[in-house]
């Protein structure tokens, strides 16, 4: 192809496509260190031993000026490095509140309701 000085100012579309590497960029983003600060009682995911499985756990103790944490997992407390921990979102369950109003029923209404129930049960 013929090139002029304008091509040096703006690269061609083919060149721009060759420079794009979405897979590499995504891998790079995933490899970036995550937030490594955790607080006591915070829910986390933890890797125990060298297996690849992440288990739910909770931070028990922080060590000042250290990336180490005591973590409670499966009924035991283990000391883990921040690299073996991930933040864990715990869903908040909202329970609906039902309000009930107490009403005073007159004796006449009570008597009529009793009679109505007796008639229905006798059928």
Pick 101 or 1 by higher pLDDT: 101
Closest to 69 measured CA to CA, from 43, 91, 89, 90: 43
Residue 106: pLDDT over 60:
yes
pLDDT tens across 85-99, in order?
Answer: 888 887 777 777 777
């Amino acid at each position: 192809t013929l090139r002029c000085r304008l091509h040096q100012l703006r690269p061609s579309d083919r060149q721009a496509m060759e420079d794009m590497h979405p897979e590499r960029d995504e891998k790079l983003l995933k490899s970036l260190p995550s937030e490594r600060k955790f607080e006591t009682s915070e829910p986390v995911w933890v890797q125990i031993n060298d297996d690849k499985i992440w288990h739910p756990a909770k931070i028990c103790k922080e060590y000042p000026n250290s990336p180490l944490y005591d973590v409670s997992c499966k009924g035991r407390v283990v000391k883990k490095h921040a690299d073996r921990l991930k933040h864990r979102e715990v869903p908040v369950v909202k329970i609906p509140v039902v309000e009930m109003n107490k009403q005073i029923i007159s004796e006449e209404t009570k008597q009529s309701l009793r009679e109505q129930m007796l008639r229905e049960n006798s059928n």
